[in-house]
Amino acid sequence: ETRTSTKQIDLLTAAKESQLIASDSLTSNKFNWDLSPYKDESATLTKIIDGQLSCEGTFVNKRKVEWPAPYVPANDFYLAVDAKLAKGTKDIIGYGLFFRRSGSKEYYLKITDTQTLTFFYYDGQKWETLIDWLYIPVLRPGQYNRIAVIADGEHFYFYVNDQMISDVENRQ
């Protein structure tokens, strides 16, 4: 059973109704997403097809592949993406959101189709786990899932399919 408090619903509603800074329907490449193939062993092909950013490839050495979203300076924000794993080994391949990138520092919210979530902070030298693997019963493997984060100062709230999954504070 999943229960959501009124405060959690109000926070998500307020975030969704806040001023829109950037949005991309992916009907064109207006934000100049990097569609060039990687020139290494990953043999990755990235393309925009029918309003979707698609990545196909063979990934080795647990290499991460990422596409920077449009840079919008914001301390407090609501960031969401509808994403799914189209094919691949569901317990190895993850997808999610990178955000608050500053130099070589960044945050990464990772989801897998084994219905798990984890959250990391990279300080430029090493990854620190801020939320260890959590089971997410509301995640629909093989289907599109809305993955969202609300950043409110040093506090982060994580949602999957509009259900709050976890929150954490980090003063990095």
Instruction: Supply the DSSP string of 36-91, one letter for each residue.
Output: SPPSSTT--EEEEETTEEEEE----TT-----PPPP---SSEEEEEEE---SS-TT
pLDDT digit string, tens, across residues 37-54: 655 555 556 666 677 666
Tens digit of pLDDT for each residue in 126-171?
Answer: 999 999 999 999 999 988 899 999 888 889 999 999 999 999 998 7
- In this prediction, residue 98 has a pLDDT band, given cuts at 50, 70 and 90, of confident
Supply the pLDDT for residue 68.
52
